[in-house]
Structure 1
């Protein structure tokens, strides 16, 4: 993966289009969720983009400082293109996203809203379940937190 980390203002039009296309492709079309993806939080996020050697956006997250989405720092809109699934790209994406947050804010707690079926994956990255199951866009989710430095 070739990593590109940018604020909203730094994104090129082509990068923004690729991000919105991938999010729509997966969250709206593949997962059959009829929802408004563009929520005006993108402007407050740091955008973590992983491009394949062919130059395609393969993986993406947006990360936030504490107090924006949750009391803790957070990672959201975690998405992998179908072409890179099963290659370890999702793990690399989360490791990179955690590293970006730690570089910006130190080893702070990180909260995510995770799809329930990915619980074990996120646990392998140090996240612990902190809520019961809830439905978001008809998909079972849980909140998980990765502890900061002790």
Structure 2
């Protein structure tokens, strides 16, 4: 597998090795680097309505995101993370495009870290409300209307 081959797996199809790799990249980015002050494990990862997408190399996951459908039927994207040594190579963009290829006809929502508002905007997301703080980090709600 190379960085050019994104993987997509539904929550109920993940292996223990997949879960470990996912939590490893999220722990490194969110807990260690960003010092998030809320738990990462939230009961969403293993649901059949959750899809995990990632790129990997010989050292593990290089970039990751998850998308899921909420109880009210809204598709959301979250937990977007790229390993420190893999940044600047367009990996998160590649994963986001995979989401849009699969679910682009649907409305998609994201709680984006505020500093990434312009980046998400380049993919058609628009701010949809007031900013807020989540896990100690400023966020903005954003929406991409289905095509």
Mark yes or no: TM-score above 0.5.
yes
Q: Could you tell me which of 25, 38, 50 is aligned with 2:28?
A: 25
Aligned residues of 1:63 and 1:101 also touching (Cα < 8 A): no
Aligned residues of 1:61 and 1:97 also touching (Cα < 8 A): no
The SS at the match of 1:86 is: coil
Kindly report the root-mean-square deviation, in angstroms, between the aligned alpha carbons of the 2 structures: 1.5
Post-superposition offset of 1:74: 1.1
The SS at the match of 1:90 is: helix
Post-superposition offset of 1:7: 1.3
Distance 2:124 2:68 in 1: 18
Match of 1:61 in 2: 65
Task: Flag structure 2 segments of 5+ consecutive residues without an equivalent.
Answer: none
Distance 1:148 1:16 in 2: 30
TM-score of the superposition, structure 1-length normalised? 0.88
1:129 equivalent in alignment to 2:119:
no
Q: Could you tell me which of 22, 39, 43 is aligned with 1:40?
A: 43
Distance 1:32 1:101 in 2: 31
Q: Deviations over 1:82-130 (max 9, x none)?
A: 111111112112111222334xxxx011000000000110000000000
Distance 2:138 2:59 in 1: 33
Distance 1:13 1:112 in 2: 27
Distance 1:148 1:41 in 2: 23
Match of 2:10 in 1: 7
Matched length: 142
Q: Could you tell me which of 138, 141, 147 is aligned with 1:143?
A: 141
Task: Flag structure 1 segments of 5+ consecutive residues without an equivalent.
Answer: none
Match of 2:84 in 1: 82
Post-superposition offset of 1:55: 5.6
